[in-house]
Amino acid sequence: MTTTIVVSGSTHALGVVRGLGRKGVPVVVVSYDNRDIATKSRYVRDVLRAPHPGQG
C-alpha cells in the first residue's frame, strides 16, 4: 500500500492520521513543531522534521 504524507501535526491532522491508519494506510507526518499532537499517534510510521515555514 502507498504511504501517505500528512503535512502538519495539528489537531486536524490527527483526525486524518487516525482515519487513514485505521484503514491500514501507512502514514508519515511532516512537522516543524515538537508539540504537534499528530506526531504521537500510534498510526504514524515516521515523523520528518522540517524547518519552520516562517524562518528562512
**pLDDT, position 1:** 83
Q: In angstroms, what is the C-alpha Rg of the chain?
A: 11
**pLDDT, position 56:** 64
The per-residue pLDDT string of the chain (56 residues; one tens digit each, 9 = 90 and over) reads 899 999 998 999 999 999 999 999 999 999 999 899 999 999 999 999 999 888 86
Is 3:26 a contact under the CB 8 Å cutoff? yes
Distance of alpha carbon 28 from alpha carbon 55, whole angstroms? 23
Is 25:45 a contact under the CB 8 Å cutoff? no
